[in-house]
Amino acid sequence: MVARVFRELIGQDEVVAILERAVAAASNSEEDSDTQGAMTHAWLFTGPPGSGRSNAAIAFAAALICPENGCGECNSCRTSLRGSHPDVELIRTEGLSIKVDEIRELIVRSAWAPSSGRHRVVVIEDADRLTETAANALLRGIEEPGSYTVWLLCAPSLGDLLPTIRSRCRHLQLRTPPTSALTRMLVEIDGIDEVMANHAAKASQGHVGRARRIATDEQARRFRHQVLQLPLRLTDVGGCMAAAAELIAASQQESAREIAPKDEAELVALQDAWGAGATGRGLASGASKAIKELEKDQKSRATALNRAFLDRSLLDLASFYRDVLLLQSGATVPLVNDDMEDEVLQLAERTTAEATIGRLDAIMAARRALNFNVAPLLALESMMLSIRVG
C-alpha cells in the first residue's frame, strides 16, 4: 500500500519503493534488519524537467515528518506539502542562481533541533543553480549534518552538481513518466476528460506540470499551436526573420501572463509591510529601497522564466520535426503532435530525412546558444534561417 503523499509521483514506482523503505527505517527507533541502511541524511533527486523531482523530494519530506509515515491528511503532512511546516525548509529560487550567503545562513538553520518530529528536512529545489562557492559552502553542511538533519537536493542531472556534492548523497533517478500514466493522472486526479487528457499527455512529452497546463489552459494550448505553425512559414528570409521576432514576442507574453499577477501580489504585500494605506505619513523610511530590491529580484525571475518558456517552445518545435522524421523513417511509434498530423505529413513528403536531422540540429544549437546568453532574437533568426535551408 503506497502512502498517500507518494501517489502523485506518476510512473516512478521504483523510486517510491525506495523512499517508502527509507521512511519505514527512519520511523523505526529500533534497528530492523529488513530496513537497515535504507535511510541516510542526504539524497539527490535527478530526472528530466517535469518528472516531479521536487514533488518527490517534498513528498519524502512530508513522509519523514508525518507521524503516520505520510498519510497526506494530517496537519503535519498538509503543512509540509505546502512548504509551511517549521521543520521542512524549502529553498526555491526563481532567479538565475542561489548565492553563497543564502547557503551559509541555511546551514546554520539546518542544525536547529526539530520542533515536533524526528527530522529537520531541507529541500533545495534547484541545486543546479547553486553558484560554485555556494555549492562548496553547502558541502560543509552535508558533510557534517546535525543528527536530525536530512538534505534533499534536486537537479536535472548528476552532471549539474559538483562531484564532491554528488558523492555525499544517495542518488535517485526519476524517469520521464509514460504517456499512459500521465493520462491516468489527468483523468483521475484533475478530472480532465479522456480525449483531452490523452492529447495533453502526449504533447507534454512526459512533463507533468506542462501536461496539466495544456489540459487546463486554453491560452497555453493556443501558444503551443502558434509555435507549431511556424515551420510551414519558413519559406523565405523575411518569413524567417518575422517568425523569430514573433516567437520571442509570444513567449515573452506567455511568461508575462504567468508572472504578472505574482509580481503585483508581492509588491502589494511589501508595500503593506512598510505601512502603505495605514494612517500616518505614507511608507516608512527604507521602503523605496526594499521595493527597488524586490523589483530587481522580480526582473531576474522574469528573465529566467522567459528563458524557460523560450526553451520550452524550442522543444515543442523539435518535437514537430521529430514527428516528421518518424514518418520519413517509417517508424510506427505514435506522433507527439497528433493534432498536427496533416502538417507533419506534408513536410515529411516534401523534405528529406537528412534535412530534418539538420533542422533538429539547428534547434539544439539555438538552445545551446541561448544558454550562452546569445541575444535571443539573433539566436532564433540564425535557427530559423538554418531550418529553412535544412
CB 326 within 8 A of CB 335: yes
Minimum CB distance to other proteins smaller for 31 or for 236: 236
CB 104 within 8 A of CB 137: yes
Minimum CB distance to other proteins smaller for 17 or for 237: 237
Contact characters 270-309, other proteins, x per CB under 8 A: ---------------x------------------------
Minimum CB distance to other proteins smaller for 4 or for 129: 129
In this chain, which of 19, 69, 241, 304 binds other proteins, going by CB under 8 A?
Answer: 241
CB 245 within 8 A of CB 252: no
- For other proteins (CB under 8 A), the number of binding residues is 21
Q: Is 388 in the site for other proteins (CB under 8 A)?
A: yes
Three-class SS of residue 171? strand
What percent of the chain is helix, strand and coil (3-state, nearest 5)?
A: 60, 5, 30
Counts of helices then strands in the chain (DSSP H, E): 15, 5
Q: Is 254 in the site for other proteins (CB under 8 A)?
A: no
Of the candidate spans 62-70, 152-160, 255-263, 380-388, the one that interacts with other proteins by CB under 8 A turns out to be: 380-388
Minimum Å distance from CB 361 to other proteins?
12
Of the candidate spans 75-83, 142-150, 265-273, 381-389, the one that interacts with other proteins by CB under 8 A turns out to be: 381-389
In this chain, which of 238, 261, 280, 330 binds other proteins, going by CB under 8 A?
Answer: 238
Q: Is 381 in the site for other proteins (CB under 8 A)?
A: yes
Minimum CB distance to other proteins smaller for 149 or for 356: 356
Distances, alpha carbon 112 to alpha carbons 27, 60, 70, 282, in Å: 20, 20, 23, 39
Minimum Å distance from CB 388 to other proteins?
7
Minimum Å distance from CB 245 to other proteins?
9
CA–CA dist 257, 219 (Å, integer) = 10
Of the candidate spans 11-19, 137-145, 209-217, 379-387, the one that interacts with other proteins by CB under 8 A turns out to be: 379-387
In this chain, which of 146, 239, 275, 358 binds other proteins, going by CB under 8 A?
Answer: 239
Site for other proteins in 352-371 (CB under 8 A): 368-369
Minimum Å distance from CB 341 to other proteins?
30
CA–CA dist 124, 153 (Å, integer) = 5
CB 121 within 8 A of CB 88: yes
Minimum CB distance to other proteins smaller for 24 or for 276: 276
CA–CA dist 274, 384 (Å, integer) = 48
In this chain, which of 232, 237, 268, 278 binds other proteins, going by CB under 8 A?
Answer: 237
In this chain, which of 29, 115, 332, 373 binds other proteins, going by CB under 8 A?
Answer: 373
Cell of 224: 503551443
Q: Is 216 in the site for other proteins (CB under 8 A)?
A: no
Of residues 37, 40, 41, 85, the one with CA closest to residue 59: 85
CA–CA dist 339, 354 (Å, integer) = 24
Cell of 314: 524550442
Three-class SS of residue 323? helix
Minimum CB distance to other proteins smaller for 164 or for 371: 371
Of residues 85, 62, 66, 31, the one with CA closest to residue 152: 62
Q: Is 379 in the site for other proteins (CB under 8 A)?
A: yes
In this chain, which of 28, 35, 136, 382 binds other proteins, going by CB under 8 A?
Answer: 382
Strands (E) located in the chain:
42-46, 88-91, 120-124, 149-155, 170-173
List, in order, residues 6 or more apart from 167 with CB less than 8 Å away: none
Question: What is the contact surface with other proteins in residues (CB under 8 A)?
Answer: 236-239, 241, 285, 368-369, 372-375, 377-379, 381-382, 385-386, 388-389
